[in-house]
Structure 1
Amino acid sequence: MEVKLITIFGATGNQGGSVARSLLKNPAFRVRGITRNPASDASKTLSSQGAEMVKANGLDPEEMRVAFRGSWGIFLNINSDDKIFTNPENPTEFDMGKIIADAAASEGVQHFVFSSGAPCSELTNGKVAMKAMDMKYKTEQYIRSLGVFKSVLPLSPGWFLENFLSIEAAPIFGGFPHFPNDEGRLVFRTPHWGGKEDVPWLSISDDFGDIVQGALLDPETWNGHFIHALSNVRSFKELTEDFQEATAREATWIPILPSWEQFETHGIHELEDVKLMFGLTQVTGGKYFGETTEIDTATKLKKATAVALEYPQEKHRLMTVKEWFATRFANTTLCKEDGTTPNSSA
């Protein structure tokens, strides 16, 4: 059996790490991870699990060519929040994507999986300009234009459920799911999503890597198909109801009105894109992916991986929001306002 080498740019990140962990379970694949720091704990962990870790910089064409040498396929996610992109004198995210795509093409890579995004400015007629999404879409179009890959598989991840594990981020959204209000209720505050309020939620740890592997099991079938990478579609109201049922704790969603422009970013750079995401979905009627959200593709890809890895039948489906909260929060203790738990001595 031919063992196919998949090289992952950003292997120590959330997306790349999930892809690596999924592929490492399948003897049909070998995994090479690209990192700027092979000595990091995340790099060492992947190495101990069987990944080959190599050092390379996405802005160095020769390092990228060496990193991709011998690869059958690659997975690319560029961190839009990388500090190197905040300096206007530095190369842009698109510049990095172009260098990486050219290197992959020169090394004969056949299958290119790219974490992309919808063309935000185009979809909103310039009303909302989310640089990260626009750069990713521009990079995707460049990858396609090269015309040398047997398949180009763009996909976009939904809202990470894992974001709810961050105690630091909870107060920005009303305290949910860590800090109850004075009445003991957990409040989740966001603007409306738009349209039918179909929010695409994704368990990055449970499903994302399997969705990508599912595409790589039959890449030419999915060539050019924009994959919606998600686990469950639930409105903000339904999500808090799911949390309540999973944990037996009172929770409610309160919309920030009248529009996305009232979402407060508190001067935090990363939250600017969150605010613009709400702008995109409100202006487009909920079309975060640039089109009506669908879960059938992710369901098929998850099942394909589950079959290939011989998962038990109950693991052939995507994680639901209710199940995700049940496994992470059912037995946890809520925090006090200072971030400690009621039983903490801090």
Structure 2
Amino acid sequence: MSAAKVFTVFGSTGNQGGSIINAILSHPVLSKEYSLRGVTRNASSDKAKALTAKGVEMVSGDMEHYDSVSNAIKGSYAVFAVTNYWESPPSKEREVNQGKRIADACKEHDVKQLIWSNLPHVGKLSKGKYPNVHHFDGKAEVGEYIASLGIPHVNVVPGMFMSNLKANIKSNDGGETFTFSMPAPIDVKWPWFNPSRDNGNFVAGALLQPEIFNASNPVSISECSGFYSGTQMCKIFEEVTGKKINYFEIPKDMFIGFMATPEIGQELYENFMLVVDYGYFGPTVEEAQKGVEDSIEKFFLEGERPQGLEEYFKEKKSEFWGL
């Protein structure tokens, strides 16, 4: 019997990477085909030790240093890579450099399957209308760099994280009524996704189809459970919690003023406008919605769908809103 292929997972103790590790370990085929290696800054942390106890080889890796990245990847057949723009202070340049180090190391070590956690290039998609969504554009530029190196790869493109709804849904009267606030009209449909539960299910579906790993024309997998309008979301929230909720369209200036800096406010506002104008994944709202359904059908584990808002609200209503 041949040795298992080493699958190295960056961000192994985080939402996206942790979901992948759980999905591989629980899959009857992939758990035998791949041996898991988790990359983390601190291989002695409690989270890292918990993964070691599950049979994951945990290694320290610093994405600021090429030698560290290269050592983590050495011997890998497959790699999942994700970067975090929002580390303090937020920096597109740092994120792009981190992603390029991972790509260069994958090329050096002849990795056969690279899964890149990508996002749309908003500046290009909008033809310059929205030039400030740096946490998207940086990841897209790394994706372009990966393709230029000729590495067989797949892009996974996560939708809007459901965990952010904790901040978007608030009560000002002790939990009797709630307000769902977004900087867009109530009929705009948002692509919600729970990466900690479902990122791994999409990646597992991709690994079961090794023929899709292509160097010149990579597949992009649109990850979300579906698109929900403000009206639909309020209805689901009321049905799950029994509490009244109203929708509030935040004016642009007010939205930007809520943020830590005007620059971050502008970036996030343009990020929301990506959904309004292009359906988040692009290139149009209609094509984005079709792309999600195609991705679920082709890559999500057979017979399932990603977690929807109703189930998520049931799970989180106590933790998020004390209900």
- Which TM-score band applies after superposition, normalised by the shorter structure? 0.7 to 0.9
Q: How does 1:166-185 map to 2 (within 5 A)?
A: 166=166, 170=167, 173=168, 175=170, 179-181=171-173, 184-185=176-177
Q: Structure 2: where are the runs of 5+ without partners?
A: none
Counterpart in 1 of 2:258? 266
Counterpart in 2 of 1:61? 66
Q: How does 1:101-180 map to 2 (within 5 A)?
A: 101-128=103-130, 129-147=132-150, 149=151, 151-164=152-165, 166=166, 170=167, 173=168, 175=170, 179-180=171-172
Counterpart amino acid of residue 154 in structure 1: N
Counterpart in 2 of 1:308? none
Structure 1 residue 272: deviation in Å? 5.5
Asked whether the equivalents of residues 197 and 286 of structure 1 are also in contact (C-alpha less than 8 Å), the reply is no
Match of 1:80, SS state, is coil
Q: Does 1:202 align with 2:193?
A: yes
Structure 1 residue 221: deviation in Å? 2.5
- For 1:84 and 1:55, how far apart are their aligned partners in 2? 22
- For 1:98 and 1:288, how far apart are their aligned partners in 2? 24
Match of 1:189, SS state, is strand
Q: 1:174 to 1:323 in 2, by over 3 A?
A: closer
Q: 1:51 to 1:296 in 2, by over 3 A?
A: same
Asked whether the equivalents of residues 207 and 231 of structure 1 are also in contact (C-alpha less than 8 Å), the reply is no
Structure 1 residue 203: deviation in Å? 1.6
Indicate the larger mover: 68-77 or 247-256: 247-256
Equivalences, count: 306
- For 1:113 and 1:180, how far apart are their aligned partners in 2? 43
- For 1:184 and 1:248, how far apart are their aligned partners in 2? 9
Q: Does 1:98 align with 2:104?
A: no
Structure 1 residue 250: deviation in Å? 1.7
Match of 2:222, SS state, is strand
Could you state the TM-score of these two structures normalised by the residue count of structure 2? 0.85
Report which of the two has the higher share of helix. 2
Counterpart in 2 of 1:80? 85
Counterpart amino acid of residue 239 in structure 1: M
Q: 1:303 to 1:334 in 2, by over 3 A?
A: closer
Counterpart in 1 of 2:15? 14
Asked whether the equivalents of residues 296 and 305 of structure 2 are also in contact (C-alpha less than 8 Å), the reply is no
Counterpart in 1 of 2:36? 31
Indicate the larger mover: 128-137 or 196-205: 196-205
Deviations 1:200-246 (A, max 9, x none): 11122321111111111213226412111112221122112111112
Structure 1 residue 174: deviation in Å? 5.3
